[in-house]
Amino acid sequence: EAEVAQSPRYKITEKSQAVAFWCDPISGHATLYWYRQILGQGPELLVQFQDESVVDDSQLPKDRFSAERLKGVDSTLKIQPAELGDSAMYLCASSLFSSYNSPLHFGNGTRLTVT
Amino acid sequence: AQTVTQSQPEMSVQEAETVTLSCTYDTSESDYYLFWYKQPPSRQMILVIRQEAYKQQNATENRFSVNFQKAAKSFSLKISDSQLGDAAMYFCAYRTLNEKLTFGTGTRLTIIP
């Protein structure tokens, strides 16, 4: 069964450094999501792409976070500079359509630790 | 704002027994979807079951079923014949036509052999 690929699986970085995460959605999925999951909480949406366009980045801290999906396929989420409070699991998900009944398929996530 | 409440941070059940996980939500919309996702330790989150708000019949997927009470805004998950592989965090979530998918805080389910 096709899966959403994410890398790296784990990342440790020092405060003020830059860090980047990569996601490759299921082939043919037009909608891609980045979620942040703080330990003990449910995932929260950071950014949603429809093809290469951002359709929702209202919860993305734009002073330090950026996301791109240049060719409408894979995507990169960047944090610069990283802060201690950014330690979390970063989940990528994709869906065939953006509609509310189209289920999301998640990757394994990248666990970020900022020291 | 959309809210999803899972009032049970942790639950445990004996293997082969039945367990019910609770979820309530708050919305003024009439058209929406409800979901239960499972997140095993160090593994990806997967969809367990989903329910359309307009359907009165409760969804069922093998050993997993829901009790959807629209008027009460309640959406509980029942797991029958619990197995060791059911151990995971379970997240309730919902999404309306014009809003993003919103998750609850999760319930950690432990299966006792």
Tens-digit pLDDT profile for residues B70-112:
999 999 999 999 999 999 999 999 998 878 899 999 999 999 9
> Which residues in chain B are contacts of A93 at CB distance < 8 A?
45
Q: What is the DSSP letter of B28?
A: S
> Which residues in chain B are contacts of A41 at CB distance < 8 A?
105-106
Band the pLDDT of B1: cuts 50, 70, 90. Answer: low
Q: Number of A to B CB contacts under 8 A, please give it.
A: 48
Query: What local confidence, expressed as pLDDT, does residue B59 receive?
Result: 95
> Which residues in chain B are contacts of A106 at CB distance < 8 A?
37, 44-46
**With an 8 Å Cβ cutoff, is B3 touching chain A?**
no
| Cα–Cα distance measured from residue B51 to residue B55, given in angstroms and rounded to the nearest whole number | 7
> Among B36, B9, B39, which residue's Cα sits nearest to residue B107?
B9
Query: What local confidence, expressed as pLDDT, does residue A40 receive?
Result: 85
What is residue B84's three-state secondary structure? helix
| Cα–Cα distance measured from residue A103 to residue A64, given in angstroms and rounded to the nearest whole number | 29
**With an 8 Å Cβ cutoff, is B35 touching chain A?**
yes
Kindly report, residue by residue over B8-59, the tens digit of the pLDDT: 999 999 999 999 999 999 988 889 999 999 999 878 899 999 999 999 899 9
Q: To probe the interface with A, which of B10, B45, B55 has the most A CB atoms within 10 Å?
A: B45
Closest-CA residue of chain B to A40: B105
State the average pLDDT over residues A95-109: 90
Choose the closest CB to A48 out of B4, B42, B100. B100
Measured in angstroms, the CA of A109 and the nearest CA of chain B are apart by 7
Query: What local confidence, expressed as pLDDT, does residue B83 receive?
Result: 97
- Where does residue B15 fall: left (phi above 0), alpha (psi -120 to 50 degrees), or beta otherwise? beta
Query: What local confidence, expressed as pLDDT, does residue A100 receive?
Result: 85
Query: What local confidence, expressed as pLDDT, does residue B97 receive?
Result: 83
Kindly report, residue by residue over A7-65, the tens digit of the pLDDT: 999 999 999 999 999 999 999 999 999 999 998 889 999 999 999 999 999 999 999 99
State the average pLDDT over residues A71-85: 96
> Which residues in chain B are contacts of A3 at CB distance < 8 A?
44
With beta carbons less than 8 A apart as the criterion, state whether B15 and B29 touch: no
